[in-house]
């Protein structure tokens, strides 16, 4: 089987349970103080070269990406978690190797009697 017949981005790199504080929400009290959000990210990329070379430059540097996402979220002031998730997906897709990304943003304690609420989005390079 040649590389051209292999489905694109069969491999995944993920970050789970990334806890970040930010301004998020539509209610006045939500706009005053930072709240906790939990972010889960799954990035689809072809990792075969990294598996062969054992070189960081051939994979996704998830530490550097995490730092960019932390900065992005901590400085954000979105009304909707959908917009926050989109912004995170856009940041991930800037990486050359990432072809597709799944982003889940949870807002613990947003609803009474529910542990958490959230959204999950899936975006690919070339999506509008």
Q: Domain span at residue 82?
A: 3-124
The domain that holds 42 is classified in CATH as: 3.30.1130.10
| Catalytic residue IDs | 107
What Å distances lie between residue 26 and 22, 62, 110, CA to CA? 13, 31, 11
H or E segment to which residue 25 belongs: none
Residue 107 φ/ψ, nearest 5 degrees = -125, 90
User: Residue 69: which H helix or E strand, with range?
Assistant: helix 62-75
Number of domains in the chain: 1
**What is the tens place of the pLDDT at every residue in 43-100?**
999 999 999 999 999 999 999 999 999 999 999 999 999 999 999 999 999 999 999 9
pLDDT level of residue 6 (50, 70, 90 thresholds): very low
Q: Can you count the helices (H) and strands (E) in the chain?
A: 3, 5
């Amino acid at each position: 089987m040649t590389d051209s017949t292999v489905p694109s981005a069969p491999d995944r790199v993920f970050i789970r349970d990334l806890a970040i504080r930010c301004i998020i929400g539509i209610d006045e009290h939500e706009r005053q103080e930072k709240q906790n959000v939990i972010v889960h990210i799954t990035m689809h990329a072809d990792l075969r070269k990294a598996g062969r070379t054992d070189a960081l430059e051939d994979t996704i540097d998830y530490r550097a990406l995490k730092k960019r996402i932390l900065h992005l979220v901590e400085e954000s002031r979105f009304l909707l978690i959908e917009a926050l998730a989109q912004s995170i997906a856009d940041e991930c897709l800037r990486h050359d190797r990432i072809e597709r990304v799944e982003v889940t943003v949870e807002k613990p304690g947003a609803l009474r009697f529910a542990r958490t609420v959230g959204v999950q989005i899936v975006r690919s390079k070339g999506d509008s």
